[in-house]
Chain A
Amino acid sequence: MTALLRPVLALGLLAALWQAVVWAAVVPERYFPPIATVVQAGMSMIARGQMQQALFDTGSRAILGAIAVNLIGIGLGLAATGAPSLRRILDTVAAILQPVPPAAVVPMAVFALGLGWKLYAFVVVLVTIWPPYLATVSALAATNPVLLSVGRMAGFGPVAMLWHIRLPAAMPEILAGVRYATTIALIAVIVSEMITGRDGIGFLLFQKAFAIRIPEVFALMFAVGLLGSAMGLAVSAVYRGFAGWHLAQRGRAA
Chain B
Amino acid sequence: MKRLFLHPAAVLLAALLAWQIVALVKTTPLFPGPLDVAGALWDDGPRLIREIGHTLRRAVAGFALAALTMIPLGLAMGRIRALGFVGEPLVAMLATLPPPATVPVVMLFAGTGDLAKILVIAYAAAIPLVINAAEAARNLHPMLGLVGRSLGLTRLETLRLIALPSALPMLAVAARMAASAALLVSITSEMLLSTNGIGNYLQREQENFRLDAGLAGIVLISVVGLILNRLIAASERRWLGWHYQSRTAETQA
Contact = CB atoms under 8 A, between A and B. Distances in A.
A98 interface: yes
Contacts of B180: 98-99
A187 B107 contact: no
A107 B104 contact: no
A107 B207 contact: yes
B202 to A, nearest CB: 5
A220 B94 CA distance: 14
Interface in B151-201: 177, 180, 183-185, 187-188, 191-192, 199
Given A9-B86, A101-B184, A103-B191, A190 B100 contact: yes
A103 B187 contact: yes
B62 interface: no
Contacts of B104: 205-206, 208-209, 217, 221
Nearest to A250: B139
Interface in A175-199: 180, 183, 186-187, 190-191, 194-195
B188 A191 contact: yes
B98 A88 contact: no
Interface in B61-109: 85-86, 88-90, 92-105, 107-109
Nearest to A209: B104
A11 B96 CA distance: 14
A201 B107 CA distance: 17
B105 A221 contact: yes
Interface stretch (B18-26, B43-51, B224-232, B235-243): B224-232
Given A14-B90, A89-B11, A104 B226 contact: no
Interface residues of B, number: 57
Contact of A194 (B96, B100, B184): B100
Best-surrounded residue of B96, B102, B192, B202 (most CB of chain A within 10 A): B96
A91 B8 contact: yes
B196 to A, nearest CB: 16
Given A104-B218, A186-B98, A14 B85 contact: no
A187 B221 contact: no
A127 B119 CA distance: 23
Given A92-B12, A97-B222, A98-B225, A104 B211 contact: no
A10 interface: yes
A251 to B, nearest CB: 12
A99 B109 contact: no
B218 A31 contact: no
B180 to A, nearest CB: 7
B172 to A, nearest CB: 16
A226 B191 CA distance: 26
A241 interface: no
Contacts of A159: none
Contact of B8 (A92, A191, A254): A92
A229 interface: yes
Contacts of A145: 251
A57 B194 CA distance: 26
Contacts of A91: 8
A225 B93 contact: yes
A150 interface: no
B222 A100 contact: yes
Nearest 7 A/B pairs, CB to CB? A99-B225, A228-B96, A209-B104, A10-B89, A107-B206, A92-B8, A187-B98
